[in-house]
Chains A and B, each alone.
With several copies, the nearest count.
Chain A
Amino acid sequence: MSSATAPQRVLAPFGRRAARIIERRVYGAYVVLRCADPDGPRPAAGQFYMLATAGWGGGEGERPFLPRAFSVLRVPAGHGLEFLIEDVGPGTHRLCELQPGEDLLLVGPLGIGFAPPSEARRPLLVGGGVGIAPLAIWQDELGGAPALLGFRDAPRAEGARLLADARVATDDGSVGHHGLVTDLVREELDRDGHAVVYACGPPAMLEAVRALCSARATPAQLALESGMACGFGACFGCVVPTRRGYVRLCVDGPVLDSAELETALVAGAGH
């Protein structure tokens, strides 16, 4: 796995650049945008980009104004970048409307990605909703790893098609296990606790995963979310509380070691 030695922070070209959209796919409630990024480096799994479009603004309530943060979903063979987007407000709405031939305006890759599994622990991927995005590229990098994925309903559960070897849970039981993905995580860890967990999803799910893992002394890396204005450490707006005080999630995260956190419930994150 050459990738296991991949750097966790790949430097971003300075400034914002245009990336032409070359493909748009729909997975139930989600949109996947593939763009060409000839001037950009290959990002590390878990890193993210700040995205905007031409004519940003003019949506609900004269927004969006600031760019929005998105994990890289996958780096297609060859080049380019893929993003997974759920329409939850004016920014994501505008992005979901984009068609091939239009440009994304992006800055990135940003932040620190996942660290390779230490010791001989097996990687276990845990995702919820759009939080599955960084797990897809990480699964590629790792050359495979089992994934436990939770979704609200069937349209969202279609996102599971983006990963291999996935067990699914849905809140409404329409697909897979009827309940929370953390039920599956508990099951897995009880079966074999010698794992390292890579998790990304809504705050409540991350907090449940953190608690489960710390109770079992299972190492876990959590990809968090918080409201961001800049994505490169300029505004100090994205801080989350850790045992060493507030850290800027955009430069010291978004992936944090669960041991650093007293809680994964970040104020103002999630929808």
Chain B
Amino acid sequence: MRTELCGIELAHPIINASGTFDAIAARRVFGDALLERFPFAAYISKTVTLAPREGNPPPRLWETPAGLINSIGLPNKGLARYLAEDLPQLAELPVPLIVNVMGFTGEEVAELVGAFSEREEVAALELNVSCPNVETGLVMGADPGETAALLHRVRPITDKPLIVKLTPNATDVVAVARAAQDAGASAVSLINTIRGMALDPRSGRPWLGGTTGGVSGPAVRAVALAQVHAVAAALDIPTVAMGGVQRGSHALDLIRAGAAVVAVGTESFRDPAAGARISDELAALAANSGNSLTEKPLNC
């Protein structure tokens, strides 16, 4: 099941979704067993911003039918401390490292891209233009013009692959994806979480400290498949697909819909080793169904 993404060699097509697996914390909890049995073929970091962020006030989580709403608010230590403290530890992972970055202006994104571009531990960058918890993210990734402008600004800065993470909260995701491709994106990834909300059963006020949040998990799987199918059919660059993947069959669906690589997010919360299980299930399915995963997907 070896495959590749923008020239990055991958042992199998399953990686993690940004912000759903903290490899440094997981190593504190599981020790080096994590490295010996690392569940993903590449590791994508949680979103890094220029300045440190505390994130949203708690509560940050609400469980929904077959899903989860989160309003985490992109807490992170900021670029400087990330480069100094986290990158060296992440370099010890047995897989390629992709850093997910987000800025509130093109200038900020350019600074982030430039900084990581110089670090050879970093195989690629993912641009988060789609986090529904942060206004700007929604705007940038929802508008083809904004997305194109951002890519024109940062594409020249680095030779590393640039993966644009699309927001599902847009009228025409395909148009945004096309704009990203035309402006030089190396790949697109989708879906990010879908805007959602919950009320405190007792007070009737918003449960989440951030008022609204993003829905993930099995509840969004069918929406993800529709968007991946539409985007992959319209683009020539590879698609990293995610959204509610729990089993190899769900990954196979996304690959059949045109995805090059599949990311696992919320399911890792239920089982830290879910990525490895899903990759094994996918390999078994591909073997049985005689389905070569590299074959051109059915274009329906």
**Is the Cβ of B25 less than 8 Å from the Cβ of A233?**
yes
Chain A residues near B273: list those with CB within 8 A: 14-16
- A230 CB-CB contact with B under 8 Å: yes
Chain B residues near A57: list those with CB within 8 A: 66
Bound-state CA distance A183–B214 (Å) is 43
- With contacts A14-B272, A62-B65, A246-B55 taken as known, whether A233 is within 8 angstroms of B207 at the C-beta atoms is no
Bound-state CA distance A238–B62 (Å) is 11
**Is the Cβ of A14 less than 8 Å from the Cβ of B30?**
yes
- B25, B37, B218: the one contacting A232 at CB < 8 Å is B25
Bound-state CA distance A61–B29 (Å) is 28
Chain A residues near B58: list those with CB within 8 A: 226-227, 237-241, 246, 266-268
- B33 CB-CB contact with A under 8 Å: yes
- With contacts A229-B269, A234-B269, A235-B70 taken as known, whether A246 is within 8 angstroms of B63 at the C-beta atoms is no
0 or 1 for each of A237-271: is its CB under 8 Å from B? (1 = yes): 11111000110100100000000000000111000
Chain A residues near B272: list those with CB within 8 A: 14-16, 107, 230, 232, 234
- B145 CB-CB contact with A under 8 Å: no
- With contacts A236-B75, A237-B72 taken as known, whether A65 is within 8 angstroms of B25 at the C-beta atoms is no
Of chain B, the residue at the smallest CB distance from A60 is B247
Bound-state CA distance A63–B221 (Å) is 13
Of chain B, the residue at the smallest CB distance from A235 is B269
**Is the Cβ of B271 less than 8 Å from the Cβ of A107?**
yes
Report A19 CB to chain B, min CB distance, Å: 14
**Is the Cβ of B270 less than 8 Å from the Cβ of A12?**
no
- A110 CB-CB contact with B under 8 Å: yes
**Is the Cβ of B26 less than 8 Å from the Cβ of A239?**
no
- With contacts A57-B66, A66-B269 taken as known, whether A236 is within 8 angstroms of B29 at the C-beta atoms is no
B 19-64 contacts with A by CB, 8 A: 19-22, 24-26, 28-31, 33-34, 37, 46, 54-55, 57-64
Bound-state CA distance A251–B22 (Å) is 11
- A67 CB-CB contact with B under 8 Å: yes
Chain B residues near A268: list those with CB within 8 A: 58-59, 61, 207
- B131 CB-CB contact with A under 8 Å: no
Bound-state CA distance A154–B19 (Å) is 44
Bound-state CA distance A245–B52 (Å) is 12
**Is the Cβ of A66 less than 8 Å from the Cβ of B30?**
no
- B243 CB-CB contact with A under 8 Å: no
Report A104 CB to chain B, min CB distance, Å: 13
- A96 CB-CB contact with B under 8 Å: no
Chain B residues near A236: list those with CB within 8 A: 19, 22, 46, 55, 60, 72, 75
Of chain B, the residue at the smallest CB distance from A226 is B58
- A64 CB-CB contact with B under 8 Å: yes
- With contacts A11-B30, A61-B246 taken as known, whether A227 is within 8 angstroms of B59 at the C-beta atoms is yes
Chain A residues near B209: list those with CB within 8 A: 267
**Is the Cβ of B271 less than 8 Å from the Cβ of A15?**
yes
Bound-state CA distance A105–B21 (Å) is 20
**Is the Cβ of B63 less than 8 Å from the Cβ of A66?**
yes
- B196 CB-CB contact with A under 8 Å: no
**Is the Cβ of A232 less than 8 Å from the Cβ of B26?**
yes
Chain A residues near B22: list those with CB within 8 A: 233-234, 236
0 or 1 for each of B201-223: is its CB under 8 Å from A? (1 = yes): 00000010100000001100000
- Range of interface residues on chain A? 35 or more
- B169 CB-CB contact with A under 8 Å: no
Chain A residues near B24: list those with CB within 8 A: 233
Report B251 CB to chain A, min CB distance, Å: 13
- B68 CB-CB contact with A under 8 Å: yes
- B67 CB-CB contact with A under 8 Å: yes
Chain B residues near A67: list those with CB within 8 A: 269-270
**Is the Cβ of B63 less than 8 Å from the Cβ of A234?**
no
Chain B residues near A64: list those with CB within 8 A: 63
- B117 CB-CB contact with A under 8 Å: no
- With contacts A234-B268, A266-B58 taken as known, whether A13 is within 8 angstroms of B25 at the C-beta atoms is no
Report A17 CB to chain B, min CB distance, Å: 9
**Is the Cβ of A234 less than 8 Å from the Cβ of B67?**
no
- B33, B62, B67, B247: the one contacting A13 at CB < 8 Å is B33
- A65, A232, A239: the one contacting B68 at CB < 8 Å is A65
Most chain B Cβ neighbours within 10 Å, of A63, A232, A234, A246 = A234
Bound-state CA distance A237–B29 (Å) is 17
**Is the Cβ of B29 less than 8 Å from the Cβ of A65?**
no
- With contacts A234-B21, A237-B70 taken as known, whether A65 is within 8 angstroms of B60 at the C-beta atoms is no
Of chain B, the residue at the smallest CB distance from A228 is B61
B contacts, CB < 8 Å to A: 19-22, 24-26, 28-31, 33-34, 37, 46, 54-55, 57-68, 70, 72, 75, 207, 209, 217-218, 246-247, 266, 268-273, 276
Q: Which 6 pairs across A and B sit closest by C-beta, in order of nearness?
A: A233-B25, A268-B59, A15-B273, A62-B65, A230-B269, A237-B61
Given A226-B59, A234-B25, A267-B59, 12 additional A-B pairs, CB 8 A:
A14-B37, A14-B273, A63-B65, A65-B68, A66-B63, A67-B269, A226-B58, A229-B68, A233-B29, A241-B58, A246-B55, A246-B58
Provide a sorted-by-A list of 5 A–B residue pairs whose CB atoms are within 8 angstroms. A11-B33, A14-B33, A57-B66, A62-B218, A234-B26
